């Protein structure tokens, strides 16, 4: 069971006591916000080994003490006094559409370009859309010091400062656009001891205001704002956020808000020079409430931060399971297919109807299909390593000039086309990341094309893949900066194998076993991009991951023994990824990245902000 309580000092430091024991997951679960596979400070991410798997708990400004308990319970029991600066502590679970499949975007890397754009959008809201000057700092020992330009962090930040969407066709020209907008941006590489490899430190200015913001990219386009104006926060972009800057202690303001608004969280938080209230809601405060705050109380500013994720979080949300083993237990008497289990999960997580979940995934599938078709038709972009190769593959496949790979050749074609769209600034879907965007859609849509299956069948397969991705997002990471390429192409391969089993009308157990075997086969894969571009060996690794998915799907359909349960494989994958040297985790400092040819190509190429 879970048992915990927390107490707060006047500085907002939180002490948590936890007793942990995993029991039956057949009930709705409530647990603290799921981690995304990183440790950005010793106090902010606690790891607890339970009898079943590794539990990760992420909360702002937390020191946690674990003790083993014996009392059993079906769900999380929260026993705590309600301190001044918290309404209640709320669970956030991975969403298929937030964390796993998406965003729809342009750019070479989701953890760089899409994540940076989302960070920039939040920074723009913090400045009320009036940014005049920005200082950006990356840690010299982090991933971004060597990849921020070549993998699109700069491009994404500029687009976010301008208020653009992640799929905006102007992104390739964002450096020019930011200059034309009169926003002065300075980027510095400093040694400030960042504890996360993808950390952004921003100083934002205009003629009347100055704000600071610290954010991290957690993989696949997901982000977390961890500090604003010296105050520890935790913003993932899944709420309407309101920040009220105070000129007083704020107790009366807090009382007023609790009586007059419906909020998931209300916090009073303090930094060195700032005291603020943070409010998390599904919609922004009404104008009459805002007017009353200014008239009745001493408030300096009120900032509204819009959501950046497609599925909002809600404090009343529960999920039927959060591990593969829990899912299998949940399904014991239900006999649902994997895609149906995915619909049940996402419907509960996102407060969506089953129809809405299926329609949203069908729309994503159509976007993927169009990207593949556009890629096969031909892409043209000067600033890349690899040119248009899928057309030649298609021609030679049609002329029977390739070895007979059957369905696999169709998958290779689709994977290549999707990766070429990414490298040419075309629209793609990060699934689970942009660097691995070819694996899942290429394997799934390629196989469906060879089998003559409908969009509806592909949609079901994508939902099944998304649920495997939820387990990875909850208990490992999609960030190559944290876990190497096994976190991207490896995760994509596991997801794709389950999708292929679903296309073949296999069982839930077969799909889960396929995912387990696929992840086992690809564990330990490093991330060493040539010239710091997400092209080589990324294309080959995407194709290999799709091939692995096909092989493992057929092995599972033949009832091969996976031996290691999926939950345990994900746990091992997370440990292995974190044990990889920094040089082999998307820093451009090891492997193929430092070959003579790679250095020569890097010197020849310009950054992605110019076509």
- Spatial separation of the C-alpha atoms in residues 538 and 448, rounded to whole Å: 24
Q: What is the 3-state secondary structure (H, E, C) of 305-318?
A: ECCCCCCCCCCCCC
- Spatial separation of the C-alpha atoms in residues 321 and 318, rounded to whole Å: 9
Q: According to the model, what pLDDT value does residue 58 have?
A: 36
In a domain, residue 399? The reply is: no
- Which comes out higher in pLDDT, residue 54 or 176? 176
> How many domains in the chain?
2
Polymer length in residues for the chain: 611
H or E segment at 213?
Answer: strand 210-219
> Do 175 and 220 have their domain in common?
yes
> Do 63 and 133 have their domain in common?
no
> Do 281 and 149 have their domain in common?
yes
CA 33 to chain centre: 14
Select from 305, 326, 359 the last residue of a domain: 305
For residues 298-302, give the mean pLDDT. 90
97 phi/psi in degrees, rounded to 5: -85, -20
Select from 247, 279, 305 the last residue of a domain: 305
In a domain, residue 431? The reply is: no
Peptide bond into 432 cis (omega under 30): yes
Instruction: Sort 292 into a burial class: Cβ within 10 Å, 0-12 / 13-18 / 19+.
Output: middle
pLDDT score of 303 more than 50? yes
In a domain, residue 546? The reply is: no
In a domain, residue 552? The reply is: no
pLDDT tens profile 125-178: 999 999 999 999 999 999 999 999 999 999 999 999 999 999 999 999 999 999
In a domain, residue 1? The reply is: yes
- What are the tokens at 472? 């990875």
144 phi/psi in degrees, rounded to 5: -70, -20
> Do 224 and 272 have their domain in common?
yes
In a domain, residue 173? The reply is: yes
> Do 87 and 195 have their domain in common?
no
- Spatial separation of the C-alpha atoms in residues 268 and 199, rounded to whole Å: 25
> Do 139 and 13 have their domain in common?
no
> Do 210 and 295 have their domain in common?
yes
Residue 272 banded pLDDT, cuts 50, 70, 90: confident
Q: According to the model, what pLDDT value does residue 63 have?
A: 27
> Do 81 and 110 have their domain in common?
no
> Do 62 and 129 have their domain in common?
no
* Diameter over CA atoms, the chain: 78
> Do 157 and 59 have their domain in common?
no
State the CATH number of the domain containing residue 208. 3.30.1330.90
pLDDT score of 295 more than 80? yes
In a domain, residue 213? The reply is: yes
Are 187 and 148 within 8 A, CB to CB?
Answer: yes
In a domain, residue 316? The reply is: no
Strand partners, 201: 137, 214
Question: Within 13 Å of residue 502, how many CA atoms lie on the same side as its CB?
Answer: 33
pLDDT tens profile 342-356: 999 999 999 999 999
Select from 305, 327, 355 the last residue of a domain: 305
Are 97 and 419 within 8 A, CB to CB?
Answer: no
Residue range(s) defining the domain that contains residue 183: 106-305
């Amino acid at each position: 069971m879970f048992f915990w309580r927390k107490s707060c000092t006047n500085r907002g430091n939180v002490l948590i006591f936890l007793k942990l024991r995993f029991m039956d997951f057949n009930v709705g679960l409530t647990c603290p916000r799921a981690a995304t596979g990183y440790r950005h400070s010793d106090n902010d991410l606690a790891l607890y080994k339970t009898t079943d798997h590794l539990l990760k708990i992420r909360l702002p400004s937390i020191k946690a003490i674990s003790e083993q308990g014996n009392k059993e319970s079906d769900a999380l029991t929260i026993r705590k006094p309600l301190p001044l600066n918290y309404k209640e502590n709320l669970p956030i679970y991975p969403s298929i559409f937030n964390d796993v499949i998406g965003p729809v975007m342009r750019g070479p890397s989701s953890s760089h370009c899409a994540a940076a754009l989302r960070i920039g959008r939040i920074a723009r809201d913090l400045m009320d859309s009036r940014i005049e000057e920005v200082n950006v700092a990356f840690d010299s020992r982090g991933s971004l010091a060597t990849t921020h330009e070549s993998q699109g962090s700069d491009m994404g930040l500029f687009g976010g400062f301008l208020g653009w969407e992640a799929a905006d066709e102007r992104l390739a020209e964002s450096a020019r656009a930011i200059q034309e907008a009169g926003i002065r941006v300075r980027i510095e590489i400093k040694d400030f001891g960042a504890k996360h490899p993808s950390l952004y430190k921003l100083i934002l200015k205009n003629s009347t205001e100055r704000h600071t913001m610290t954010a991290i990219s957690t993989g696949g386009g997901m982000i977390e704002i961890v500090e604003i104006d010296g105050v520890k926060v935790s913003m993932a972009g899944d709420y309407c956020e309101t920040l009220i800057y105070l000129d007083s202690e704020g107790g009366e303001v807090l009382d007023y808000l609790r009586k007059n608004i419906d909020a998931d969280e209300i916090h009073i938080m303090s930094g060195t020079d700032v005291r603020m209230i943070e409010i998390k809601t599904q919609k922004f405060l009404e104008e009459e409430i805002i007017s009353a705050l200014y008239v009745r109380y001493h408030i300096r500013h009120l900032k509204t931060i819009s959501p950046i994720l497609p599925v909002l979080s809600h404090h009343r949300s529960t999920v039927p399971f959060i591990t593969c083993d829990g899912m299998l237990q949940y399904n014991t008497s239900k006999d649902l297919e994997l895609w149906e289990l995915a619909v049940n999960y996402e419907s509960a997580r996102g407060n969506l109807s089953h129809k809405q979940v299926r329609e949203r995934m069908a729309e994503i599938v159509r976007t993927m299909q169009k990207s593949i078709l556009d890629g096969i038709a031909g892409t043209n972009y000067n600033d890349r390593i690899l040119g248009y190769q899928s057309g030649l593959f298609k021609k030679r496949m049609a002329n029977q000039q390739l070895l007979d790979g059957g369905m696999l050749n169709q998958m290779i074609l689709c994977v290549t086309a999707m990766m070429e769209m990414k490298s040419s600034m075309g629209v793609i879907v990060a699934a689970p990341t942009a660097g691995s965007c070819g694996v899942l859609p290429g394997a799934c849509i390629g196989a469906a094309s060879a089998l003559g299956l409908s969009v509806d069948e592909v949609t079901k397969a994508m939902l099944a893949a998304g649920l495997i991705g939820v387990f990875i997002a909850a208990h490992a990471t999609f960030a190559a900066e944290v876990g190497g390429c096994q976190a991207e192409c490896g995760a994509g391969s596991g997801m794709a194998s389950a999708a292929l089993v679903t296309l073949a009308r296999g069982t839930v157990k077969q799909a889960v076993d396929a995912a387990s075997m696929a992840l086992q086969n690809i564990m330990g894969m490093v991330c060493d991009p040539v010239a710091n571009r997400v092209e080589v060996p990324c294309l080959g690794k995407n194709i290999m991951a799709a091939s692995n998915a096909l092989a493992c799907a057929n092995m599972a359909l033949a009832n091969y023994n996976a031996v290691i349960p999926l939950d345990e494989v994900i746990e091992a994958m997370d440990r292995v990824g974190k044990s990889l040297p920094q040089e082999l985790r998307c820093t451009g400092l090891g492997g193929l990245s430092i070959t003579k040819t790679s250095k020569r190509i890097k010197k020849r190429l310009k950054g992605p902000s110019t076509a």
